[in-house]
Amino acid sequence: MTFEDVEAAARRIAGAARVTPVLTSRTLDDRLRARVFLKCESFQRAGAFKFRGAYNAITRLSEADRRRGILAYSSGNHAQAVALASRLLGAAATVVMPVDAPAAKRKATEGYGARVVAYDPAHEDREEVARRLQAEGDPVLIPPFDHPDVVAGQGTSALELFGETGALDLLLVPCGGGGLLSGSALAAKRLSPGCRVIGVEPETADDATRSFRTGTLQTVRNPRTIADGARTASLGRITFPLVRALVDDMVTVSDDDILRAMRFLWERMKLVVEPTGALGLAAAWRGALDVAGRRVGVIVSGGNVDLGTAADLLRGLPPED
Binding site residues, a copy of itself, CB under 8 A: 21, 23, 26, 42-43, 45, 47, 266-273, 303, 307-308, 310-312, 314-315
d(CA 166, CA 205): 32
* Residue 254 falls in the annotated catalytic set: no
Q: Is the dihedral of CA 142, 147, 153, 158 positive or negative?
A: positive
Catalytic residue among 50, 74, 189, 234: 50
Return phi, psi of residue 300, to 5°: -90, 100
Q: What angle do CA 140, 143, 146 make, to 5 degrees?
A: 130
Which CB atom, from 130 or from 269, has the smaller least distance to a copy of itself? 269
SS3 (DSSP) at 149: helix
Paired residues of 197 in beta bridges: 171
Catalytic residue among 42, 182, 192, 301: 301
* Residue 301 falls in the annotated catalytic set: yes
d(CA 168, CA 166): 7
Integer angstrom CA distances of residue 106 from 34, 230, 311: 40, 19, 21
Residues in the chain: 321
Count of other CB atoms within 10 angstroms of residue 271: 20
Q: Are 214 and 235 in contact (CB under 8 A)?
A: no
281 contacts: CB under 8 Å, gap ≥ 6: 36, 38, 172, 261, 264, 265, 298, 300
Q: Are 270 and 262 in contact (CB under 8 A)?
A: no
Which CB atom, from 27 or from 134, has the smaller least distance to a copy of itself? 27
d(CA 248, CA 264): 27
Q: Is the dihedral of CA 223, 229, 233, 239 positive or negative?
A: negative
Which CB atom, from 245 or from 311, has the smaller least distance to a copy of itself? 311
Q: Are 56 and 88 in contact (CB under 8 A)?
A: no
Torsion of CA 313, 178, 174, 231, to 10 degrees: 10
Paired residues of 302 in beta bridges: 48
Which CB atom, from 141 or from 307, has the smaller least distance to a copy of itself? 307
Query: What residues act catalytically?
Result: 50, 301
